Amino acid sequence: MGKYVGGFVVPVPKDNLDAYRQMVEEARGAYQRALSLTQQQWEQQFLERRLAELGK
């Protein structure tokens, strides 16, 4: 059986690529701040998954 990949693809017009990258950086910062404030393990795992989805 093939591997399943969960997620979705968001087409971004080349004209908006810089704005999209800026939004990703802002989201990464928000998730990192939230991660530093959480105390529940399930919250930490959720935020860590979101950060991983944003990539490097």
Residue given tokens 């690529």 in the structure block: 17
CB 35 within 8 A of CB 51: yes
Distance between terminal CA atoms of the chain?
30
Q: 7-27: per-residue pLDDT in tens?
A: 777 888 999 999 989 998 999
Residue given tokens 């910062």 in the structure block: 29
Query: Would you state the pLDDT for residue 3?
Result: 78
- Residue 1 pLDDT level (bands cut at 50, 70, 90): low
Tokens linked to 33: 């701040």
pTM: 0.68
Across the chain, what does the average pLDDT equal? 87
Distance, CA of 36 to CA of 34 (rounded, Å): 5
- Residue 35 pLDDT level (bands cut at 50, 70, 90): very high
Query: Would you state the pLDDT for residue 30?
Result: 93
Distance, CA of 17 to CA of 45 (rounded, Å): 29
